[in-house]
Structure 1
Amino acid sequence: MKRTLFLIIFLAIVVPVGWVLFCKYEGDAPIADISLPSQYLRQSYEINITASDKGAGLKHVTVSLVQKDNEKILLDKSYPPSSIQSLFSDNIILSDTFTIPVEMRKYGMNDGQAIIRIVVTDYAWRKWTKGNSFYQERPVIIDTVPPRLQVLTSQHNVSKGGVGLVIYKLDEENVQSGVRVGENFFPGYPGVFKDPMVITALFALDHTQGPDTRIAVEARDLAGNETKRGFYHYIKDKNFRSDTLRISDGFLEFKMPDFDLGPMEAQFLMEENPLLAKFLYINETLRQQNVETVAKVPSDTRGELMWDGRFSRLTGAANRARFADKRTYKHNGKVISHSTHLGIDLASTSNAPVGAANNGRVIMAQNVGIFGNIIVIDHGLGLASLYAHLSQMNVAKGDVVKKDDIIGRTGLTGLAGGDHLHYGMMLHNVCINPVEWWDAAWIKNNITSKIESVKIQIQ
């Protein structure tokens, strides 16, 4: 009887008390998972924190921004105390997540070093009921001053569809900068001058951008501070030709079988003129896809001036189409489609050897839809030349070539009706007029003389 009574008392009192002491005296510290978007406190800065405690539960979470003796509390949250009953219920707060905005301009702090301090405590009875704690300090930098820049070049004359060059100097490192032309952005590069703070940027107008286009240098530091600076420039307007291409049934029968569009082929068979329907898809939808594919390639560039002098032109070739020709396609006298020709077609003899227009590095050599076999060469600072419709490619991606090295032969791959070279040039993702780069005087007046002038100026 006594043994039974003792067992009842033990189970009713000793075991629960032991369980409470075991739980309440647990020694596992809470943890906090902290995500900072940057070491620099940006204007729209948010700290993401998840605090958790798998034992006695969260007691207090404090997050503060500290700079010397100045401390700004960003978060101060307490949780209701737990009880013995809470050990057997779901009232314990084991985890909580916060998104904390940081508006450093309101805190009266100076630019420079600071820390984000995170303290999390739990309801354990250790340390005379102070509990276990998590403590961490994360270094950050307060930076509210935008970068400063000085434009070093004075004359910036650029034509519609053409290229200009601006050189400027920054006052701090780790700044993303370049030239904004309308909606297009052209990065600047520090590799042309010994001083890494002197930046060279080629910029371009596409074939639709005229004299009302806004042009400015932009600079953005790691803290998100921005500077925009206009500079003197003159934009020369230009009218481009219109051209009509007559699409014959013979051309469709000759060319359309070269394109295997997979499941789409069955859709064209349902049309009144399957070959014409296929041509329209290729000339509009596939063309747009292929142009976007090729336009991404010049981003693989080196921040140095790799070319030397004027760019070479296919030897003995005649122009068959010009840059930015506005093309109208007709079939049986009816207008069926439109496009803009963003290169120059050069016709010589069949399978004529094609030389690299200037020194550079091959960044594409493959078959791309309407372009057929295409080679793209990087010449540095985002400038690239392209060679399309080739019957043969003698180089591969990564090859370094010299001016006039034979890289392939002309052909009629892709959407070409006859053997020729489609020669184009791009600045980053914008197609530009190659004629400027065939002109030694234009290169000297607009590119090289400006670089030499700045070299003398900064010495």
Structure 2
Amino acid sequence: MKRTLFLIVFLAIVVPVGWVLFCKYEGDLPQADISLPSRYLKQSYEINMTATDKGAGLRHVTVSIVQKDNEKVLLDKSYPPASILSLFSDNAIVSDTFVIPVETGKYGMSDGQAVIRIVVTDYAWRKWTKGNRFYEERPVIIDTVPPRFQVLTSQHNVSKGGVGLVIYKLDEENVQSGVRVGENFFPGYSGVFNDPMVITALFALSHTQGPDTRILVEARDPAGNETKRGFYHYIKDKTFRSDTLNISDGFLEFKMPDFDLGPLEAQFLTEQNPLLAKFLYINETLRRQNVETVLKVPSDTRTELMWQDRFNRLSGAANRAQFADKRTYKYNGKVVSHSTHLGIDLASTSNAPVGATNNGRIIMAENVGIFGNTVIIDHGLGLASLYAHLSQMSVAKGDMVKKDDIIGRTGLTGLAGGDHLHFSMMLHNVFINPVEWWDPVWITNNITSKIESVKAQIQ
């Protein structure tokens, strides 16, 4: 009887008390999983943090920014104590998540080093019931001063559809900078000069941007501070040709079978003129998709000028279409479609060898819809040349080529109606007028003389 009574008392009192002491005296530290978007306290800076304690539960969470003797509390949150019964229930708060805004301009702190301090305590009975304590400091940098730069070039004459060059010097490192032309942004690069703070930026006007286009140099530091400033420039307006192309049944019967559009083919069969319906889709929807594809490729560029002197033109070829020609397509005398020709068509003999227009690196060699077999060469600083409708390609992505190295042969792949080379030049995501790059006088006046002049300035 006594043994039974002892067992009952043991199970009813001693075991629960032992379990309480075991749990309440647990020694596992609470944890804080904190994510800082950058070491630099940027504008619109937010700290994401999750505090957890799976034992006795969270007691207190504090997050602050500290610079010397100046401390600004960003988060200060206490949690209600859990009862003894919480050991057998979900009463304890074991996790909490925060998004903490940081606005350094309001804290009276100066630019320089600071720390983000995180303290989390729990409800364990250790340390005379003060609990276990998580403590961490993350170093950050306060930076509220925008970057500064000095434009080193003086003349910036650029034509509609053409290219300009500006060179400027930054006053601090790790700054993202370039030229904003309307909505387009052209990055600057530090690989042309020995001084990494001297930046070279090629920029371009598209065939739709005229004299009213706004052009600025922009610089943004890691803390998000920005400087935008205009520089002297002159934009020359230009009028591009209009051209009418008559689409014949013979052309449709000849070219449309070259394009396999998969499930869409059945859709065209329901049209009154299936071949014409397919052409319209290819000339408008597929053209837009293919243009977007090739314009992404020049972003794979090197931060150096790989080209030298003027760019060569396909030998012995005649111009069959000009840059930015506005094309109107007619079928049986009726206007059916429109497009803009963003390159120059060069016609030579059938299957004529095509040489690289200048030194560079192959960044595309594949079939691209309306362009057919297409080779793109990176010449550095975002400048690229494109060769389309090739009957064959003799290079692969990653190959280095010299001026006049054979990269393929002319053909009529894609939407070409006859054997020719479609030649384009691009700067980042904009098609530009190739004629400028064939002109040694233009290159000297607008590119190389500027670079040499700045080199003389900074030596």
Residue 335 of structure 1 aligns to which amino acid in structure 2? V
1:29 lines up with 2:14 in the alignment: no
The Cα of 1:80 is off from its aligned counterpart by 0.8
Q: What corresponds to 1:303 in structure 2?
A: 303
Query: Deviations along 1:201-238, whole A, 9 cap, x unmatched?
Result: 00000000000000000000111110101000000000
Q: What corresponds to 1:183 in structure 2?
A: 183
Q: What corresponds to 1:354 in structure 2?
A: 354
1:206 lines up with 2:185 in the alignment: no
Query: Deviations along 1:86-138, whole A, 9 cap, x unmatched?
Result: 22232210000111000111000011111001010100011111111111111
**Distance in 1 (alpha carbons) for counterparts of 2:378 and 2:451:** 20
1:8 lines up with 2:8 in the alignment: yes
Q: What corresponds to 1:83 in structure 2?
A: 83
Query: Deviations along 1:271-317, whole A, 9 cap, x unmatched?
Result: 11000000000000000000000000000111111111111011111
Q: What corresponds to 2:400 in structure 1?
A: 400
Partner SS state of residue 75, structure 1:
strand
Q: What corresponds to 1:192 in structure 2?
A: 192
Partner SS state of residue 131, structure 1:
coil
Partner SS state of residue 296, structure 1:
helix
Partner SS state of residue 277, structure 1:
helix
Q: What corresponds to 1:67 in structure 2?
A: 67
Residue 98 of structure 1 aligns to which amino acid in structure 2? F
Query: Deviations along 1:53-80, whole A, 9 cap, x unmatched?
Result: 0110000101010111111111111111
The Cα of 1:84 is off from its aligned counterpart by 1.2
The Cα of 1:390 is off from its aligned counterpart by 0.5
Q: What corresponds to 1:279 in structure 2?
A: 279
Query: Deviations along 1:239-269, whole A, 9 cap, x unmatched?
Result: 0000000000000000000001111111111
**Distance in 1 (alpha carbons) for counterparts of 2:177 and 2:440:** 29
How do 1:246-265 and structure 2 match up within 5 A?
246-265=246-265
**Distance in 1 (alpha carbons) for counterparts of 2:48 and 2:219:** 28
**Distance in 2 (alpha carbons) for counterparts of 1:102 and 1:247:** 62
The Cα of 1:405 is off from its aligned counterpart by 1.0
Partner SS state of residue 319, structure 1:
strand
- 282-291 or 77-86, larger mean C-alpha shift: 77-86
How do 1:136-147 and structure 2 match up within 5 A?
136-147=136-147
Q: What corresponds to 1:158 in structure 2?
A: 158
Partner SS state of residue 363, structure 1:
strand
The Cα of 1:352 is off from its aligned counterpart by 0.7
Residue 408 of structure 2 aligns to which amino acid in structure 1? G
Q: What corresponds to 1:217 in structure 2?
A: 217
Q: What corresponds to 1:118 in structure 2?
A: 118
The Cα of 1:196 is off from its aligned counterpart by 0.3
Alignment length, in residue pairs?
459
How do 1:322-401 and structure 2 match up within 5 A?
322-401=322-401
Identity fraction in percent: 88
**Distance in 2 (alpha carbons) for counterparts of 1:38 and 1:96:** 23
Q: What corresponds to 2:97 in structure 1?
A: 97
The Cα of 1:4 is off from its aligned counterpart by 2.1
Q: What corresponds to 2:133 in structure 1?
A: 133
**Distance in 2 (alpha carbons) for counterparts of 1:7 and 1:315:** 105
Residue 37 of structure 2 aligns to which amino acid in structure 1? P
Partner SS state of residue 82, structure 2:
coil
Residue 154 of structure 1 aligns to which amino acid in structure 2? S
- 4-13 or 298-307, larger mean C-alpha shift: 4-13
**Distance in 1 (alpha carbons) for counterparts of 2:331 and 2:57:** 77
Residue 111 of structure 1 aligns to which amino acid in structure 2? D
**Distance in 2 (alpha carbons) for counterparts of 1:242 and 1:287:** 19
Q: What corresponds to 1:17 in structure 2?
A: 17
**Distance in 1 (alpha carbons) for counterparts of 2:351 and 2:82:** 85
Residue 195 of structure 2 aligns to which amino acid in structure 1? D
**Distance in 1 (alpha carbons) for counterparts of 2:122 and 2:86:** 14
Residue 192 of structure 1 aligns to which amino acid in structure 2? V
User: Scaled by the length of structure 2, what TM-score is found?
Assistant: 0.99
**Distance in 1 (alpha carbons) for counterparts of 2:207 and 2:388:** 20
Moved beyond 6 Å, runs of 4+:
none
**Distance in 2 (alpha carbons) for counterparts of 1:43 and 1:290:** 38
Partner SS state of residue 245, structure 1:
strand
**Distance in 1 (alpha carbons) for counterparts of 2:17 and 2:53:** 22
**Distance in 1 (alpha carbons) for counterparts of 2:303 and 2:13:** 77
- Structure 2 unaligned residues grouped into runs of 5+: none
**Distance in 2 (alpha carbons) for counterparts of 1:258 and 1:82:** 74
**Distance in 2 (alpha carbons) for counterparts of 1:199 and 1:72:** 39
Q: What corresponds to 1:422 in structure 2?
A: 422
Residue 441 of structure 1 aligns to which amino acid in structure 2? V
- 76-85 or 307-316, larger mean C-alpha shift: 76-85
1:432 lines up with 2:422 in the alignment: no
Residue 94 of structure 2 aligns to which amino acid in structure 1? L
- Structure 1 unaligned residues grouped into runs of 5+: none
**Distance in 1 (alpha carbons) for counterparts of 2:324 and 2:453:** 33
The Cα of 1:85 is off from its aligned counterpart by 2.3
Partner SS state of residue 257, structure 2:
helix
Residue 276 of structure 1 aligns to which amino acid in structure 2? L
Partner SS state of residue 388, structure 2:
strand
Partner SS state of residue 209, structure 1:
coil
The Cα of 1:13 is off from its aligned counterpart by 1.2
Partner SS state of residue 379, structure 2:
strand
**Distance in 1 (alpha carbons) for counterparts of 2:54 and 2:407:** 66
1:149 lines up with 2:155 in the alignment: no
The Cα of 1:406 is off from its aligned counterpart by 1.1
Query: Deviations along 1:173-197, whole A, 9 cap, x unmatched?
Result: 1010000000000000001111000
User: Scaled by the length of structure 1, what TM-score is found?
Assistant: 0.99
Partner SS state of residue 266, structure 1:
helix
Residue 43 of structure 1 aligns to which amino acid in structure 2? Q
